[in-house]
């Protein structure tokens, strides 16, 4: 049993193969958090909580005159506002007309086989018969008919615990929820580091590690999406934790909107971490009998370093979060026309690219922005999802058929959440756009955001995408979103603005995506938001891959891929070979290096194949053949960060290893050159020590490659690269 309840001690103990998580119902029916860490026994770890009479630490109801009992320093499972705890909270709510205050106490619990679900929200899943259990703990306010059900899913083999909360109003007076976090975690020991992943457009998910000091550290997005600037994923670790050793814990929020993660070190050096929907301007009203469900959060623990932590999380997400049938199917290698043509294309130009794609062995042509409405630049046409046949010179169905006749699949770009003011849709329904009455709208990329809190907008979006997909043999869509959400106001629901509209927008987005997947189950969707502006675990529930960044420069992608690897499966990283000089920064890198870097994820090209030399076309064909020959390794192998671009200025290296150790790859990109250079050696990881591997025609034992190391070839030019595949030799 992964979940065990000791009735006498009042403890709930959750076990995965590597960790133990424990809670306790104390004598006042407060649900305390007693332990989360390395796998251990089911002792009552509440002995670690030390009661004391601390000044200015108040006592809650039921504590009587015991000044040693205070929720201001006791570790709690779901901290609330209004019961004497002055640290960051998980929940703040009030009955209309009353002061916000809650005092939640244990009411009941259930242990169930299988995994709970969250209708309308992404969540880790399980199939009938899987070794997964659910724990439901019901808490009730001491004074009002307010209930909170804490949900825990325990995936023992995947070393994964999921958390969510359901807030319910059973009273007659409406309840206003101003803050509703998905989880709250308390740790008595305060010497922790926080690793977060900051960034910008074209520079996403840069790892940053800081020692937590006293006070509140916040990682958040208020942009309506998870954002380029911050990511809803953090790691909390001991200060001596490295890639190879030390205790560490990952928290990933399954949410694609504005989020908030806070870590507080309190007066007694304890650490509390909470995460959930950003509470800025948030307000959700519950009438009698209504509930609010928080997004799900994933937590995972390792005591053998950051590498083991993130590989375990990658595997868990791949197995238990991504649902697309394309997860286990061979995804197409493709060419996207965007950097080749931008808006300046015709049907014949596209077919010319398709002919070259077929020649070198690609699987798909993707038509990017500019195929619809009156769309020759980024100032018009969004919302008018009908084909510009004059521009194409034919119907979309005819173009797709001609591409299919070349042996290629066809994909297309859409940005359905946006509308241009110069569009038929906006002229007919200006109130569908989110703008503030009486004010000139705040524009992003000269476009406005559609109000996905409205049922008619959701219906229009579903119908438009269905009509497009029904019009031709479209196998793939790239779903883009190119601005932050601002001026949040719903003309249909002004009383909701801004308090509930942001969250309703995200729920509307999820509803549309769920509809598309149900109606078109074989469709491959790639997520995108100006590149990696919505690269989060919530989106992976709907799409198996996400365009990692609009920055296609191979060297800067080393940094972006490195940071992304800490929290997400590398199979979800969409990466392409682009033209040089690079369109984002002007850098020139060898064609070989661009290919090796792009093979870290779902592989493709973002250039005009017709402008490649014969030598480059031949090299592209070889890259495609290499990627296809090692597809399972790159998509399903365990990913090892062998060197960090932040710590090694000479080269960045990574490796994939098949779970059974039968095959492994080593990839290296040289980032600096020196006169009279020293030899570089790299140590492989994850191999079978006593197995023999063939690398570049020479046999090595796994132990030799991992402990002695491997001598890298000397680079021949600026930004040179190297890739090798180690094959286990059958004895």
pLDDT at position 113? 97
Q: What is the DSSP secondary structure assignment for residue 529, as one 8-state letter?
A: B
Do residues 350 and 391 touch, judged by C-beta distance below 8 A?
no
Q: pLDDT-derived band of residue 189, with 50, 70 and 90 as boundaries?
A: confident
pLDDT at 389 over 80: yes
DSSP SS3 for 657: strand
Q: pLDDT-derived band of residue 276, with 50, 70 and 90 as boundaries?
A: very high
Return the H-helix or E-strand segment holding 33. strand 31-38
pLDDT at 728 over 90: yes
pLDDT at position 497? 79
DSSP SS3 for 275: strand
pLDDT digits (tens, 9 = 90+) for 583-592: 999 999 999 9
Q: pLDDT-derived band of residue 190, with 50, 70 and 90 as boundaries?
A: confident
Domains with residue ranges and CATH for the chain: 3-320 (2.70.98.60), 641-728 (2.60.40.1180)
pLDDT at position 295? 98
Sole residue written with tokens 């209708």 = 119
For range 596-606, the mean pLDDT? 96
Q: Which residues pair with 110 in a beta bridge?
A: 136
pLDDT at 731 over 80: no
pLDDT at 267 over 90: yes
pLDDT at position 498? 80
Pairing state between β 476-479 and 409-414: parallel
Distance of alpha carbon 341 from alpha carbon 655, whole angstroms: 34
For range 668-677, the mean pLDDT? 96
For range 598-602, the mean pLDDT? 95
- Long-range CB contacts for residues 44-53, cutoff 8 Å, separation at least 24: 44/6, 44/9, 44/11, 45/11, 46/11, 48/188, 49/74, 49/75, 49/188
Q: What is the 3 state secondary structure string of 546-607?
A: EECCCCCCHHHHHHHHHHHCCCCCHHHEEEEEECCCCCCCCCCCCHHHHHHHHCCCEEEEEC
pLDDT digits (tens, 9 = 90+) for 97-137: 999 999 999 999 999 999 999 999 999 999 988 999 999 99
pLDDT at position 478? 98
pLDDT digits (tens, 9 = 90+) for 301-317: 999 999 999 999 999 99
State pTM to two decimals: 0.97
pLDDT at position 493? 87
For the annotated catalytic residues, the residue numbers are: 536, 616
Helix axes 614-629, 347-360, angle to 10 degrees: 60
For range 44-50, the mean pLDDT? 97
pLDDT at 456 over 90: yes
The residue among 244, 249, 247, 246 whose CA lies nearest residue 233 is 249
Q: pLDDT-derived band of residue 611, with 50, 70 and 90 as boundaries?
A: very high
Do residues 167 and 278 touch, judged by C-beta distance below 8 A?
no
pLDDT at 713 over 80: yes
Q: Which residues pair with 19 in a beta bridge?
A: 38
pLDDT digits (tens, 9 = 90+) for 485-539: 999 999 998 888 788 999 999 999 999 999 999 999 999 999 999 999 999 999 9
pLDDT at position 496? 80
pLDDT at position 65? 84
- Cβ neighbours of residue 238 under 8 Å, at least 6 residues apart? 191, 192, 193, 246, 247, 248
Average pLDDT across the chain, whole number: 97
- Cβ neighbours of residue 218 under 8 Å, at least 6 residues apart? 260, 261, 262, 263
pLDDT at 1 over 80: no
For range 682-699, the mean pLDDT? 97
For range 428-437, the mean pLDDT? 97
Distance of alpha carbon 684 from alpha carbon 226, whole angstroms: 34
Of the listed ranges 256-260, 345-349, 496-500, 656-660, the one predicted with least confidence: 496-500
pLDDT at 167 over 90: yes
Phi and psi at residue 532, to the nearest 5°: -100, 30
């Amino acid at each position: 049993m992964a979940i065990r309840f000791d009735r006498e001690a009042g403890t709930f103990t959750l076990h995965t193969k590597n960790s133990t998580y424990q809670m306790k119902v104390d004598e006042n029916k407060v649900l305390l958090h007693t332990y989360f860490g390395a796998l251990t026994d089911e002792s009552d770890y509440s002995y670690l909580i030390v009661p004391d009479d601390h000044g200015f630490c108040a006592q809650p109801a039921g504590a009587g005159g015991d000044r040693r009992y205070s929720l201001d320093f006791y570790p709690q499972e779901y901290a609330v506002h209004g019961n004497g705890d002055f640290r960051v909270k998980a929940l703040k709510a009030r009955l209309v007309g009353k002061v916000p205050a809650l005092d939640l106490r244990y009411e009941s619990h259930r242990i169930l086989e299988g995994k709970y679900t969250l209708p309308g929200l992404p969540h880790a899943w399980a199939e009938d018969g899987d070794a997964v259990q659910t724990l439901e703990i019901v808490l009730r306010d001491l004074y009002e008919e307010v209930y909170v059900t804490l949900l825990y899913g325990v995936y023992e083999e995947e070393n994964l615990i999921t958390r969510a909360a359901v807030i319910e109003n059973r009273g007659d007076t409406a309840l206003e929820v101003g803050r509703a976090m998905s989880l709250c975690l308390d740790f008595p020991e305060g010497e922790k580091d926080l690793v977060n992943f900051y960034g910008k457009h074209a520079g996403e998910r840069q790892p940053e590690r800081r020692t937590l000091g006293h006070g509140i550290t916040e990682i958040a997005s208020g942009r309506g999406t998870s954002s380029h600037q911050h990511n809803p994923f953090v790691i909390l670790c001991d200060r001596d934790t490295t890639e190879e050793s030390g205790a560490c814990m990952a928290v990933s929020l399954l949410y694609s909107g504005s989020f908030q993660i806070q870590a507080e070190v309190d007066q007694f050096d304890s650490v509390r971490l909470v995460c959930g929907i950003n509470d800025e301007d948030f307000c959700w009203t519950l009438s009698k009998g209504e509930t609010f469900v928080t997004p799900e959060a994933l937590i995972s623990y390792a005591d053998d370093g950051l590498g083991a932590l993130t590989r375990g999380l990658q595997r868990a997400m791949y197995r238990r979060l991504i649902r697309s049938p394309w997860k286990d199917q061979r995804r197409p290698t493709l060419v996207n026309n965007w950097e080749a043509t931008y808006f300046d294309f015709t049907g014949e130009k596209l077919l010319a690219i398709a002919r070259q794609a077929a020649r070198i062995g690609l699987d798909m042509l993707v038509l990017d922005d500019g195929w619809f409405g009156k769309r020759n630049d980024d100032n018009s046409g969004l919302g008018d999802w009908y084909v510009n046949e004059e521009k194409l010179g034919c119907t979309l169905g005819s173009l797709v058929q001609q591409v299919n006749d070349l042996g290629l699949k066809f994909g297309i770009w859409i940005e359905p959440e946006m509308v241009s003011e110069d569009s038929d849709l906006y002229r007919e329904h200006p109130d569908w756009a989110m703008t503030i009455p009486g004010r000139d709208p705040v524009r992003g990329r000269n476009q406005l955001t559609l109000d996905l809190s409205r049922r008619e907008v959701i219906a229009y979006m579903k119908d438009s995408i269905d009509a497009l997909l029904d019009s031709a043999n479209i196998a793939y869509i790239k779903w883009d979103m190119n601005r932050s959400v601002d001026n949040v106001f719903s003309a249909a629901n002004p009383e909701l603005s801004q308090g509930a509209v942001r969250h309703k927008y995200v729920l509307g987005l999820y509803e549309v995506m769920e509809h598309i997947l149900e109606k078109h189950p074989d469709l491959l969707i790639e997520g995108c938001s100006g590149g990696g502006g919505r690269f989060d675990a919530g989106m992976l529930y709907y799409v198996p891959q996400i365009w990692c960044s609009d920055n296609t420069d191979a060297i800067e992608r080393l940094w972006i891929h490195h940071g992304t690897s800490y929290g997400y499966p590398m199979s979800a990283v969409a990466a392409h070979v682009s033209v040089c000089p690079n369109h984002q920064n002007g850098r020139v890198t060898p064609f070989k290096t661009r290919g090796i870097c792009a093979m870290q994820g779902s592989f493709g090209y973002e250039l005009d194949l017709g402008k490649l030399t014969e030598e480059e076309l031949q090299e592209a064909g070889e890259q495609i053949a290499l990627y296809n020959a090692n597809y399972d390794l790159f998509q399903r192998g365990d990913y090892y960060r062998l060197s960090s671009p932040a710590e090694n200025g000479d080269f960045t290296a990574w490796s994939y290893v098949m779970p059974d150790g039968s095959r492994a790859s080593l990839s290296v990109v040289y980032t600096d050159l020196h006169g009279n250079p020293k030899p570089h050696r790299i140590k492989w990881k994850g191999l079978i020590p006593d197995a023999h591997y063939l690398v570049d025609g020479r046999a090595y034992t796994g132990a030799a490659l991992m402990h002695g190391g491997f001598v890298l070839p000397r680079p021949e030019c600026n930004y040179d690269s190297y890739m090798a595949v180690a094959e286990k030799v059958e004895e």
